[in-house]
Chains A and B, each alone.
Chain A
Amino acid sequence: MGKIKKKFTAVWELYRDGFKNMTWGRPLWGLVILKAVILFAVLRVFFFKPAMAGMSDEQKSEQVGEHLTTPRKIQ
């Protein structure tokens, strides 16, 4: 048990010290976080709503089956 705990502590310290002592990597992490916010909090929420969101699997089968068997007019 002590050995496992020691390993976990070593891994935790690796990440903790790594982030704490970061120099040129800091703005890169800023960039990654900024991008994640733009992607998931803005684009995903406001622009990229899945077309079949909220449908059950049966409803999805029904809709796609309809599209496959009845030609649609593409706008």
Chain B
Amino acid sequence: MDAVIWSRLQFAMTAAYHWLFVPLTLGLAMAMAIMETLYVVKKDEYWKKTAQFWMKLFAINFAVGIATGIILEFEFGTNWSNYSWFVGDIFGAPLAIEGILAFFMEATFFAVMFFGWEKVSKRFHLISTWLTGIGASISAFWILVANGWMQNPVGTTFNPDTVRSEMASAEAFWEVISNPVAVSKFFHSVTSGWVTGGVFVVAVSCWYLWKGRNVQFARKSILVGGFVGLLGTFAVMLSGDISGVHAAEYQPMKLAAMEGLENGGRRAPFSIVPGVEIPGMLSILATHDLNGYVPGINDIINGYTDNDGNIIPSVAEKMEMGRTAINALAQYRTLKDTDPVAAAAAREVMEANVQYMGYGYLESPEDVIPPVGIVYWSFRLMVGFGMLIALVLVLVLWFNYKDKLTKMNWLLILSMLCLPFVYVCEEAGWIVAEVGRQPWTIQGLLPVNVAISDTSVGEVMTTFFVFLGVFALFLAIEIRIMINAIKKGPSVE
């Protein structure tokens, strides 16, 4: 394995690890804010104690998850320096805003939430609890603006002098933050966090019911957790549908890999599992039109005409235009100080072909195909477990309402199993999004093998295994602290 593969593995491991903590933070924040709202509105101390218990688990998750995202930024500088320089202010601005906002909002309202119970008014405390969750969601938005730009690089121009993608105006910044891919990713990611938070509350509560302890607490928590989880699943389905349309529009190869669709067409089928298909369903999902055209892997490689009548060049043609852009960039950089007229001509050629520049680094048209098996099965794991979770949440809420849940051991066990399932959904979702866009770090502009630093396999391997050890240690610590806190239980029955 070369340095590119090791760097990708390291980044994937770090991102997957970071993503263990973020969804629970987002979802649990929502659940405990609703519980505290019930305490303030109903003036019921029981809800206060309930909210306080879930806040404790929130704090444990937060403490272990904090700063795991910073390691990703370390890796940008060490392993992905070409990429870091190339993206320039597009990545810098959102991440800086995220850092400042996350620090100030979370440091302020998190402190009020934990230290302020007897110090500030009920209303101010409630607002702080809500703002802790909202602050975490806003942080996620800025991260996803950066990620969305990598999937659909809008609002920027490539400057051959600085070798960076730059935002030329305030309108460009608006274009970057209103990027449809970023917006749908934001809603999909945050609402998936609600599912995780809701399932966590339900699973832990079901454990109490299974053990026959803290029954009233567990039943009340299930009411809120189930509601948050179910609301999240509906929102995830809706935002997932929009993400599918965006994938069809901006990253058709990712969609083709998700479906294992070799040859596309109109009335394209949706694959349940290999050999089991729903005719026309993929066209409906991807274009909201039964007769919508969905290109397959071979169509994308050979070129096709999209639903708006645009002729999309073959990958070989894009590679040719990409090489033209790269050669023109080289000429421009050589001539700009000695022959301004020839340099201007070279720049013009580069600008005419720059949207396909990344293709110029590929060795064969098949290089644009991501690992289809990984993407295909990750998508099915995400959707399959997601549907199971939605069903379990409906059943749990119904039987909890009917006061029959405590006697239904099979449903309690199934609810507890949903906790690992929801994490599989979360991680599988990221695999679909990130493995599905290979070979690109920036769609169409920069493939992974050009984005990498001058680094050696040995260096990346060393840091990979150091991280693996550190991550495993902290995860083990968190799980132990979390289990102890759950075993100790809330202060109410």
On A, residues with C-beta under 8 Å from B are 10, 13-15, 17-19, 24-25, 27-29, 31-32, 35-36, 38-39, 43-44, 47-53, 57, 60-61, 64-65, 67-72, 74-75
Contacts and interface: CB of A to CB of B under 8 A. Distances in A.
Given A18-B115, A74-B452, A64 B85 contact: yes
Nearest to B74: A48
Contact of B115 (A17, A52, A64, A75): A17
Nearest to A29: B63
Contacts of A52: 77, 81, 85, 453
Contacts, number: 118
Nearest to B463: A47
24 contacts: A14-B116, A15-B115, A18-B114, A24-B485, A28-B63, A31-B481, A35-B64, A35-B66, A35-B67, A39-B71, A43-B463, A43-B470, A44-B74, A47-B463, A50-B77, A50-B78, A51-B79, A51-B453, A67-B454, A68-B450, A69-B326, A72-B454, A74-B3, A75-B457
B161 A68 contact: no
B457 A25 contact: no
A48 B77 contact: yes
Nearest to A36: B67
Contacts of A31: 63-64, 474, 477, 481
Given A51-B78, A64-B86, A74 B470 contact: no
Interface of B: 2-4, 56, 59-60, 63-64, 66-67, 70-71, 74-75, 77-79, 81-82, 85-86, 111-112, 114-116, 119-120, 160-164, 326, 329-330, 333, 361, 449-450, 452-457, 462-463, 466-467, 470, 474, 477, 481, 485
Contacts of A32: 63, 66-67
Contacts of A67: 82, 450, 454
Nearest to B334: A69
Contacts of B164: 61
Nearest first, the 6 A-B pairs at minimum CB distance are: A18-B115, A50-B77, A51-B453, A51-B81, A69-B330, A28-B63
Nearest to B473: A38
Contact of A69 (B77, B329, B449): B329
Contacts of A74: 2-4, 449, 452
B285 to A, nearest CB: 37
A25 B59 contact: yes
Most central of A29, A43, A74 by chain B CB within 10 Å: A74
A60 B114 contact: no
A38 to B, nearest CB: 6
Contacts of A49: 78
A14 B78 contact: no
A50 B452 CA distance: 12
